[in-house]
Amino acid sequence: MTKTPLRSLTLRSGAALAVALLSSALATVPAAAADPAGQITGIAGKCVDVAAASSANGTPVQLYDCNGTAAQQWTLASDGTIRALGKCLDITDRGTANGSTVQLWDCAGSANQKWVVTAANDIVNPQADKCLDATGNSSANGTRLQIWTCTGGANQKWRAPSGGGTPPNPSGFVVSEAQFNQMFPGRNSFYSYSGLTAALGAYPGFATTGSDTVKKQEAAAFLANVSHETGGLVYVVEQNTANYPHYCDTGQPYGCPAGQAAYYGRGPIQLSWNFNYKAAGDALGIDLLHNPNLVQTDSAVAWKTALWYWNTQTGPGTMTPHNAIVNGRGFGETIRSINGSLECNGRNPAQVQSRIDAYQRFTQILGTTPGSNLTC
């Protein structure tokens, strides 16, 4: 009997994925090229400035008229820090809350000194998942800089030095490691960037087909859906253990050699059922029927199973999620292919919106547009 392909499992812990939808009405800063002298310019063309040009630990960082002094010369270092006067741009007291101010401090390599300059001209601290922000939307000299939830406002838009220290992306993936960390600041370490990039070779057409916009849209769509399935890449295995014995279809000729309760949801797409473990394993050249635990112990294998579904399975839809994006059917069609029988056509609009919110956020991080047909 033909079995329905994997239906990705909605997170059973009851935890809702709380992803803030960034504003689509982006206010822009002047379109001048980045200043080769090292200035970071923001609202009203003012510069990010170290107060009184002091290199003392704890010196406030503020907005000020650009004057070309050393207090306004910043370097984007390859380790993700932003430096001036031999010190690092630092979030005071390692804060992550809205309104935490920024200052100058000895470089320590800590998470409160790491920044990502996005294609959308945001400067983001991945740990806090917040943007560098001019307090009160003010452009007055001496306005203190802080971190705040990213809104797309003009007081959060910056032009950073050209040729900065953003490390090259040796994987060739359209999502850099810094962007991945920004998307998933609280992720489980099992879901590593290196595991994801190691898995990409299994499906070389993924996020490499079509225009640059389409490539980024596909990566964002895939990551948004797996984010929804795993609570932001937090959960590696299905949380409701009572379901574990239910995923053995004894009608299959190969049975359940790993055990009756061995085929529960695992990995980014929550692979489940013995027949799906076998199908994915056969496609990937990995014996997952006998070794299903590989999906929760080997990061690359886990990512490969998610890419297997994305690129080869139609689920309750009419096309694979990969084809939905590259053929212009839109993000909504990927939802239909993953969990459409339970979510689409008004069955669960809140779950659909959760996926859309993540997708819109991720496309903004990647500096692209989400396109049309977002819902199903």
Active-site residues: which are they? Answer: 229
What is the Cα 204 distance to its own chain's centre? 20
Smallest Cα–Cα separation from 64: which of 79, 44, 82, 46? 46
Contact 43, 155 (CB under 8 A): yes
Secondary structure class of 60 (helix, strand, coil): strand
- For CA atoms 91, 94, 99, 101, give the dihedral sign: negative
Contact 6, 263 (CB under 8 A): no
Please tell me the distance from the alpha carbon of residue 10 to that of residue 7, in angstroms, as a whole number.
9
Smallest Cα–Cα separation from 210: which of 199, 221, 225? 221
Please tell me the distance from the alpha carbon of residue 360 to that of residue 196, in angstroms, as a whole number.
21
Please tell me the distance from the alpha carbon of residue 347 to that of residue 357, in angstroms, as a whole number.
18
Please tell me the distance from the alpha carbon of residue 254 to that of residue 11, in angstroms, as a whole number.
29
Smallest Cα–Cα separation from 271: which of 329, 347, 338? 338
Please tell me the distance from the alpha carbon of residue 356 to that of residue 364, in angstroms, as a whole number.
12
